[in-house]
């Protein structure tokens, strides 16, 4: 019995449309490198303004640290008082929603796309990510396609969210599991 092999030559993701023209995508590519991925802090207002210019919905006073990479700004929604730490990579083939008061710590990776490893054609799979109000994604975490991080949930350092995170709970591990309640003191 022979083992099936991957057939990447059969891969056809022509159905996927990033939502921007060729020129817009190329222009963003250079802005992302010069302004966002740049290790020098160029100002939060500058970054928020550029994101808005490219179609992002951005609320009040976002903090976007140096070294951040955003694939398609027109597919991102940033609420009020959102913090995105150094070297965060937002690989948003799908939409990414950051509700108010959310935090994504340094080195986190948010992935809205993956490939179907069960199919020989290795088809693209896309799922939006939602980080609900008050949620905190710890440093060096990975959030996988289609995951909702519930309101006030925490994903601890280095964890991998492969499924939705329950609100008001702390989640840890790879894959992340619920470990206890998150209790906010007044």
Choose among 130, 69, 134, 66: nearest CA to 98. 130
CATH code of the domain occupying 19-181: 2.160.10.10
Q: What is the pTM of this model?
A: 0.93
Question: Residue 1 above 80 pLDDT?
Answer: no
Could you state, in order of their start, the residue ranges of all structural domains in the chain?
A: 19-181
Q: Is 45 exposed, middle or buried (0-12, 13-18, 19+ CB in 10 A)?
A: exposed
In tens, the pLDDT along 121-179 reads 888 999 999 999 999 999 999 999 999 999 999 999 999 999 999 999 999 999 999 99
Residues of the chain with pLDDT > 90: what percent?
A: 80
What's the order of all strands across the beta sheet hosting 142-143? 69-70, 89-91, 109-111, 142-143, 160-161
Q: How far apart are CA 117 and CA 42, in angstroms?
A: 40
DSSP state of 34: I
């Amino acid at each position: 019995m022979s083992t099936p092999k991957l057939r990447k030559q059969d891969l056809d993701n022509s159905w996927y449309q990033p939502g921007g023209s060729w020129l817009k995508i190329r222009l963003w590519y250079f802005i992302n490198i010069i302004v966002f991925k740049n290790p020098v802090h160029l100002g939060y207002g500058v970054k928020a303004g550029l994101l808005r210019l490219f179609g992002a919905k951005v609320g009040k006073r976002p903090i976007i640290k140096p070294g951040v990479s955003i694939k398609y700004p027109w597919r991102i929604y940033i609420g009020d008082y959102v913090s995105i730490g150094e070297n965060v990579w937002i690989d948003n083939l799908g939409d990414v929603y950051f509700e108010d008061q959310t935090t994504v710590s340094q080195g986190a990776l948010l992935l809205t796309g993956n490939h179907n490893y069960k199919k020989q054609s290795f088809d693209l799979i896309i799922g939006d990510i939602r980080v609900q109000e008050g949620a905190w994604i710890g440093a060096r975490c990975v959030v996988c396609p289609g995951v909702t991080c519930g309101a006030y949930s925490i994903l601890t350092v280095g964890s991998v969210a492969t499924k939705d995170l329950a609100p008001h709970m702390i989640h840890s591990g790879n894959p992340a599991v619920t470990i206890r309640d998150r209790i906010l003191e007044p």
